[in-house]
């Protein structure tokens, strides 16, 4: 998927605003509303223009393991600061993460999806069937990870990955999708809630980090 693709979030924002312009301008005596709309449009067009570099979403290959490990480590350093013990973050090891993701990328059934922007690998996520004992793995999917390079957050890569992976779960016939999120990670929880994920009552404490997590769930609309 490329930035010029109509499905790209930034292109969708621009198209929606362009469709809105005639209706707003046709109403005389609304200069402030028009000005506000034009400001929003300029911001989106500016973002699209400044980011008009090739953007591709694809399945990761073994050659991507080090890049995926790097994204994971860099994301942890920023996203989990203040919600996970500093010593745990400091122990995050690139060599370990590279091997970790090499093994998961090699799984033929469950893909790791990767976004490249202008040739740079910038974000990834992984989908699997649910491994939780209270779920039916034949109908409940699970997102294990979704990470974006910290300096590129807010540009639509996370949304692009989430849209893609939820559609892939639908295509495979899953009825629900879950994920675990750190209880104190407010930014991540807000992101998932915008998609319709809700806490389902599941909780756990990660023995490796001693941090509380909550489980989120979404029921897929098969439309």
The CATH number assigned to the domain holding 152 equals 3.40.630.30
CA distances from 183 to 80, 84, 178, 192, 218 (A): 11, 10, 15, 13, 17
Cα 178 to Cα 3, 60, 165, distances in angstroms: 28, 22, 12
Instruction: Specify the higher pLDDT residue, 79 or 194.
Output: 194
Residue 105, both tokens: 């990328």
**Does residue 69 share a domain with residue 116?**
yes
pTM: 0.75
- Residue whose token pair is 């920023």: 78
Query: ∠ at Cα 201 (198, 205), nearest 5°?
Result: 110
87 and 132: one domain?
yes
Considering the domain boundaries, does residue 3 fall inside one?
A: no
Q: C-alpha distances in angstroms, 125 versus 8, 47, 122, 213?
A: 17, 24, 11, 18
Same domain, 124 and 143: yes
Q: Does the pLDDT at position 154 exceed 50?
A: yes
- Same domain for 162 and 206, yes or no, is yes
Would 1 be classed as within a structural domain? no
Cα separation, 150 vs 75, whole angstroms: 6
CB contact at 8 A, 218 and 197: yes
Of the candidates 214, 133, 155, 144, the one whose C-alpha atom is nearest the C-alpha of residue 177 is 144
Domain co-membership, 140 together with 205? yes
Tally of structural domains, the chain: 2
What is the spatial distance between Cα 31 and Cα 92, in angstroms, rounded to a whole number? 53
**Strand 120-129 relative to strand 55-59, pairing:** unpaired
Range of the domain at 18: 9-50
Task: Give the pLDDT confidence of 136-152 residue by residue, as tens digits.
Answer: 999 999 999 999 999 99
Q: What is the pLDDT of residue 7?
A: 58
Same domain, 173 and 89: yes
Residues 120 and 138 in one domain: yes
Q: Is the pLDDT of residue 58 over 80?
A: yes
Give the strand pairing for 140-148 and 120-129.
antiparallel
Asked if residue 113 and residue 81 are part of one domain, the reply reads yes
pLDDT at 43: 39
Rounded-to-integer distance, Cα 14 and Cα 42, Å: 9
Residues with Cβ < 8 Å from 223, sequence gap 6 or more? Answer: none
């Amino acid at each position: 998927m490329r930035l010029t693709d109509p499905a790209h979030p930034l292109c969708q924002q621009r198209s929606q605003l362009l469709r809105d312009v005639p209706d707003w301008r046709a109403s005389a005596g609304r200069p402030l509303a028009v000005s506000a709309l034009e400001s929003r449009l300029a911001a989106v067009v500016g973002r699209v223009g400044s980011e008009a570099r090739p953007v591709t979403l694809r399945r990761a290959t073994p050659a991507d393991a080090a890049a995926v490990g790097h994204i994971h480590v860099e994301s942890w350093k920023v996203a989990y600061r203040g919600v996970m013990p500093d010593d745990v973050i400091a122990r995050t090891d690139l060599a370990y993460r590279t091997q970790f993701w090499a093994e998961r990328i090699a799984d033929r059934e469950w893909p790791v999806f990767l976004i490249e922007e202008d040739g740079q690998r910038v974000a990834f996520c992984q989908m699997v069937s649910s491994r939780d004992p209270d779920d039916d793995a034949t109908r409940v999917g699970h997102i294990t990870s979704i990470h974006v390079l910290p300096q590129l957050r807010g540009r639509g890569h996370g949304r692009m990955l989430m849209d893609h992976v939820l559609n892939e779960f639908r295509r495979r016939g899953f009825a629900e999708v879950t994920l675990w999120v750190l209880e104190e990670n407010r930014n991540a929880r807000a992101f998932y809630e915008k998609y319709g994920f809700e806490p389902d009552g599941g909780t756990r404490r990660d023995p490796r980090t001693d941090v509380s997590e909550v489980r989120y769930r979404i029921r897929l609309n098969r439309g």
